[in-house]
Amino acid sequence: MAAKKDIFSGSVKISQAKGLRGEISVPGDKSISHRSVMLGSIADGVTEVTGFLEGEDNLSTIGAFRSMGISIDAPGHGKVVIHGKGMDGLREPEDIIDAGNSGTTTRLLTGILSAQPFFSVITGDSSLRKRPMKRVVEPLIKMGARISGRKGGSLLPLAITGARLKGVYYKTPVASAQLKSALLLAGIYADGETAIEEPERSRDHTERMLKLFGAYVKTKGNSVIVNSTKRLNGCKIKIPGDISSAAFFVAGALITSGSELLIKDVGVNPTRTGVINILKKMGGSIEILNEREASGEPVADILVKSSRLKGVEVNWQELLSAIDEFPIICVAAAFAEGTTRITGAGELRVKESDRIAVMSGSLSSIGVKNKEEKEGITIEGLGTIEAEGGEVESHGDHRIAMSMAMAGLKCRKGVSISGAASVDVSFPGFFKTLSGVTVL
Ligand code: S3P
């Protein structure tokens, strides 16, 4: 066992290890899981989902739709059955909707709620209540939505009084799939056409799934158009493993010296594979095998072998399709030869934690020199020099906890992570999966 759990302090210690060997699969894709419940609920008929991620964020989405009268069976093992009630089938929730830690639940749901003929209030935990909502609220108001919230609608809780929406053309100031998806989901309820143009293309799971449910969606370059939609049809959805969860194991296998790891059935949508491209650019031996398609999404197996990584420059264009992998890329950079500089990453400051500040502090705590910058970080890779290790905090951020766990595999004294239970947000069973493939 590489992972030792201290149930009293909620901390987990990861010890130095020789490598990661064997075969694993990772839980279902978080983004796709959210969308399957949202679209399944407003579709006609039954939607049967397999591979659903039973993480806390996705359970928040299920809870929200149940509170609006949708019957959802979730017997476990990734199976979820949603008894959709059609585009007009949601009813007013009797209480506040609690989105927990989930930005995706909040922002996408705000799009749907804006178009319902009822009143609703949405809020979340202390991290979510700090995250920016204006980016979604402002364009929705342009579509006719009636939303108010703290600081002029910038912060949760948001109170939404349903309204009749009209389609708009909107150029987003930031490439964000949550923003784009909120507008697309409002757009299918709005009169006429809704066109969204992004500065760069964000992940496209909503577009793919809307098509699967029979909606009209047109994409061209960085633009997407949807039309007023009368009906979505319930369907069967097979969700692939989350590449964002696989990424921890890809990096963990690369940085440890005796690794050969096969990760089965991972989603490899090109709007999400930035982490593979960046780790390959660092010299990582990563093979994408057995490529196929399931429910409109590309899927493959990933074979990773230990590699001597080198420091690289990473810009925003490269990072956009690896937006959630910033923490684990920082860990890979910490053990690479030479300097890695990540730039243009200001968005990382408004995730589940300020990931630039938190990663800078966490790397310093284990003995890795780095410099926090306004929109990025510079990391002096240790190369063949051993890291000391130490104690770090998750800051309630699941991806920080899992990234620092992988760093522990390479540290002389290992790494203790407090607040490690946060991994349940997106990867329940993370420490068990890690223990199963760790070679001490
Ligand atoms: C997500 C979009 C991204 C990502 C988040 C999930 C989604 O957020 O970081 O984990 O499912 O649409 P932004 O839209 O804020 O970039």
Please tell me if the CB atom of residue 206 comes closer than 6 angstroms to any atom of ligand 1.
no
What per-residue confidence (pLDDT) applies to 8?
A: 40
What atom of ligand 1 comes closest to residue 180's alpha carbon? Answer: 14
What atom of ligand 1 comes closest to residue 176's alpha carbon? Answer: 14
Tell me how far apart the alpha carbons of residues 281 and 256 are, in angstroms, rounded to a whole number: 18
- pLDDT, one tens digit per residue, over 285-310 is 999 999 999 999 999 999 999 999 99
Average pLDDT of 373-400? 96
Q: Is the pLDDT confidence value at 186 over 80?
A: yes
Burial 22-49 (b: 16+ CB within 10 A, else e): eebbbbbbbbbbbbbbbbbbbbbeebbb
Please tell me if the CB atom of residue 33 comes closer than 6 angstroms to any atom of ligand 1.
no
Q: Which of 30, 28, 38 is nearest to 68 (CA)?
A: 38
361 contact partners, CB below 8 Å, separation of at least 6: none
What atom of ligand 1 comes closest to residue 179's alpha carbon? Answer: 14
- pLDDT, one tens digit per residue, over 208-235 is 999 999 999 999 999 999 999 999 999 9
For residue 104, report the distance from its CA to the centre of ligand 1, in Å. Answer: 6
- pLDDT, one tens digit per residue, over 144-158 is 999 999 999 999 999
Please tell me if the CB atom of residue 323 comes closer than 6 angstroms to any atom of ligand 1.
yes
What per-residue confidence (pLDDT) applies to 388?
A: 95
Tell me how far apart the alpha carbons of residues 395 and 104 are, in angstroms, rounded to a whole number: 19
Mean pLDDT of the chain: 96
What per-residue confidence (pLDDT) applies to 187?
A: 98
Do 3-28+240-439 and 30-238 agree at the fold level? yes
Which of 29, 57, 178 has most ligand 1 atoms within 8 Å of its beta carbon, as the pocket-test mutant?
178
Run of H or E residues at 266: strand 260-267
Query: Edge-to-edge strand order for the sheet containing 390-393?
Result: 3-6, 11-14, 415-418, 390-393
- Cα torsion 67, 73, 75, 80 to 10°: value is -100
Answer yes or no: are the C-beta atoms of 209 and 35 closer than 8 Å. Answer: yes
What per-residue confidence (pLDDT) applies to 1?
A: 37
Tell which wins on pLDDT, 373 or 10.
373
Please tell me if the CB atom of residue 271 comes closer than 6 angstroms to any atom of ligand 1.
no
- pLDDT, one tens digit per residue, over 348-381 is 999 999 999 999 999 999 999 999 999 999 999 9
Which of 57, 130, 201, 203 has most ligand 1 atoms within 8 Å of its beta carbon, as the pocket-test mutant?
203
CATH 2.60.420.10 fits domain 3-28+240-439: no
- Neighbour-count burial of 260, counting CB atoms closer than 10 A to its CB (0-12 exposed, 13-18 middle, 19+ buried): middle
What per-residue confidence (pLDDT) applies to 384?
A: 87
- pLDDT, one tens digit per residue, over 88-115 is 999 999 999 999 999 999 999 999 999 9
Q: Which residues are identified as catalytic?
A: 324
pLDDT category of residue 5 using cuts at 50, 70 and 90: very low
Residue nearest to atom 16 of ligand 1 (CA): 176
Q: What is the CA radius of gyration of the chain?
A: 21
Q: Is the dihedral of CA 143, 186, 227, 268 positive or negative?
A: positive
Q: Is the pLDDT confidence value at 425 over 70?
A: yes
Please tell me if the CB atom of residue 104 comes closer than 6 angstroms to any atom of ligand 1.
yes
Q: Is the pLDDT confidence value at 7 over 60?
A: no
- For residue 281, give the 3-state DSSP assignment: helix
Indicate the domain borders of the chain: 3-28+240-439, 30-238
Q: Is the dihedral of CA 56, 110, 34, 155 positive or negative?
A: negative
Answer yes or no: are the C-beta atoms of 423 and 417 closer than 8 Å. Answer: no
Question: How many alpha carbons fall within 13 Å on the CB side of residue 70?
Answer: 32
CATH 3.40.50.300 fits domain 30-238: no
Single pTM value for the model:
0.97
Average pLDDT of 122-134? 96
What atom of ligand 1 comes closest to residue 35's alpha carbon? Answer: 11
Q: Is the pLDDT confidence value at 4 over 70?
A: no
Tell which wins on pLDDT, 3 or 32.
32
What per-residue confidence (pLDDT) applies to 378?
A: 98
Tell me how far apart the alpha carbons of residues 257 and 335 are, in angstroms, rounded to a whole number: 11
Please tell me if the CB atom of residue 177 comes closer than 6 angstroms to any atom of ligand 1.
yes
Please tell me if the CB atom of residue 182 comes closer than 6 angstroms to any atom of ligand 1.
no
For residue 198, report the distance from its CA to the centre of ligand 1, in Å. Answer: 14
Q: Which of 323, 318, 218, 320 is nearest to 278 (CA)?
A: 318
Answer yes or no: are the C-beta atoms of 56 and 425 closer than 8 Å. Answer: yes
What per-residue confidence (pLDDT) applies to 10?
A: 84
Please tell me if the CB atom of residue 31 comes closer than 6 angstroms to any atom of ligand 1.
yes
Q: Is the dihedral of CA 12, 17, 23, 28 positive or negative?
A: positive
